[in-house]
Amino acid sequence: MPPDVVAVTGEALARRALELDELAAPVPTRPGTPRPGTPPVVAAYVSIGGEPSTRALLDRLRAAGVRVLLPVLLADNDLDWALYEGAERLVRAGRGLLEPDGPRLGPEAVTTAGVVLLPGLAVDHGGLRLGRGGGSYDRVLARLERAGARASLVVLLYDAEVLAEVPAEAHDRHVHAAVTPSAVHRFTAPGARTEG
């Protein structure tokens, strides 16, 4: 995608994503955390290359008082997390990724998020997400499951990346929704989809 198309698409994606009730008021995922008065938490990511741009969405969430956690890639491809404190606090890391330059919160920090925004290559009509194959987000999803977290899982894609079917492996997990620049796709059960 040309950079100008990615930028315009990112604005549309941010507007559409903010229509999600989950992003209007992300809720804690485990009883007792966070404490009352603590800002809601969203785990997100900084898009790279031809991915739909997440920059506008990150800034709007932060401006709304949401604690936005961004991934920090570890040597073993697992993800640590750090707080997003604005684009000026992002640094270039390995594999062309942009990561926050602030303190690391640990891999378990993602379990405090009410919403986890995921990158992907595609999603099928049942909500099965196709990742890039590195396994980083497979680990995140397994960590959430082990912790008993009830985070809403949302993949951000282009319109043409919502497909009838994607290849699946035993470790693959379903997401609750996919957001594209033109629609919100909800997945209530494997094979069931609604659009908003």
Domains of the chain in start order, with CATH, are 3-195 (3.40.50.10420)
Reported as a single tens digit per residue, the pLDDT across 86-138 is 999 999 998 889 999 999 999 999 999 999 999 999 999 999 999 887 889 99
Is residue 35 scored above 50 in pLDDT?
A: no
The average pLDDT across 31-51 equals 75
The average pLDDT across 29-54 equals 75
Q: Is 148 exposed, middle or buried (0-12, 13-18, 19+ CB in 10 A)?
A: exposed
Is residue 52 scored above 80 in pLDDT?
A: yes
Tell me the pLDDT band of 32, cut-offs 50, 70 and 90: very low
Put residue 56 in one of left, alpha, beta given phi > 0 → left and psi -120 to 50 → alpha.
alpha
Q: What is the pLDDT of residue 125?
A: 93
Is residue 195 scored above 60 in pLDDT?
A: no
Q: What is the pLDDT of residue 99?
A: 96
Tell me the pLDDT band of 6, cut-offs 50, 70 and 90: confident
